Structure 1
Amino acid sequence: MGRVRPGPTSRVRVREVSGAAVRDRRDDLATEEPLEIRVAAGGDTRTLAITMRTPGADFELAAGFLSGEGIARAEDIASIAYCTDEDLPPETRYNTVTVHLRGRSLPELPAMDRHFMTSSACGVCGTASLDALHTRHAALTEAAPRGADDHCVQGALPGRALPPVPADVLYGLPGRLREAQGIFGKTGGLHAAGLFTADGSLLAVREDVGRHNAVDKLVGWALMSGRLPLEANLLLVSGRTSYEIMQKALAAGLPMVCGVSAPSSLAVDLARDFGMTLVGFLRGERFNIYAAPERVATEQP
């Protein structure tokens, strides 16, 4: 018999020790399994990535990954399906997704070699990758030249689509995201990415063991529902903000990214280069703005 399709949680037996008390019980864990993302066109198929992910929204993850890498737009995707190759063992069929592209041949994919094997942690990229982004994306605002001393304070102007977001709205976002994390509530072991409007309304949330996978799932949802670019929205991630997350947000047209933890130095560089607002340490009633503060409406003392 074929394997049952994997779910987002897995049940295990644990021995719980609390002081002098010891008991055996069942516990729910976040499932972590590999997902192979393939792309196919004109009779050719190529593996793009193998990432460790939490099963669920796999098609969105694949679509968001392709969108973030500049490989496919919504109109380029003909279909997405789990693998049905008879020569594959049953346990791999729900861990392999093929994105069928319109056209007679595969697009050029030289940049994808670095993604062939990824983990549930965010990838590491250098300044060469940051420079390469300028060949694919324009700044979301009128950004100051790279290297400007006061770039964070003076360099960017708010985009027209996203009005300045009040600080009070930002304060409430982590709580709304946490309330929507159903799988985290059962396991305590997942990251989340949430898409919000300027007034703090939550549009969608996706969870995964990998921060970047959660963002891919969210962007894939937006792509498949015809919502890209997300120029009127902002993104909140439950952990630190990496270069890779900022890259995916840029590709989706998101002008603002917030994180409950710290950003990396390269994430800040990307935000400043492309006029994106980057907020970190969003906890309680405090946060830091690392780039384009004009999109945040604050009361100056």
Structure 2
Amino acid sequence: MAEVRVHKVNTAGSASEVADVTAREEPLEIRVEGRSVAVVMRTPGHDEELASGFLVSEGVVQKPRDILEVSQCPSTNNEHGNIVDVLLGGAVVNWESLTRHVFSASSCGLCGKTSIESVFQQFPAVKGEWQVSPKQRDLLPLDRHILLVSGRVSFEIIQKALAGGIPLVAAISAPSSLAVDFAQEAGQTLVGFLRGETMNVYTHPQRLKTAP
């Protein structure tokens, strides 16, 4: 878990800053014999088992002895995630087929990336002067929209919103720790637990106005 500070807001106009926690989310780059094959998003822990299971699901290995070792790679210039390298015990890898299948089978858009650096794409931060008012209706163009999410907010959702210039993302459930960090850095307002008459504002609360 990761500790964060949030602004709890209700429809009566009251707001208070309190401590909260979010589920930790970080990318894991999986390498096979030094070659990057995929990046998956996960809660850190049991990375060796995750990498092994990934290779089983992709058909790279069939038996336990096909994997000699799964090791953590030392951090280089990347501070956002972790890297594991899998040493195989004689299994023959069709690299072209493996990477092509990972890209085509990925529905999340991140798991098809083959390095952590490619996950953290660079987009300009959103402008900070726009504010959301209860009286606003016409929010065109896209940078005048808000994005409403029916579940939890992952890093990828925040990144896609930023790519479209969307300054505010709101969800009925909780954001991950990486989503909060990314939204804070990108200048986006991130709202969670938008239910009934209350909500938690995790980043950039200055963009919200309460009803008079």
Q: Same fold (TM over 0.5)?
A: no
Say which structure, 1 or 2, has more relative contact order (CA 8 Å, 6+ apart): 2
TM-score (norm 2): 0.44
TM-score (norm 1): 0.32
Quick check: which one's helix share is greater?
1
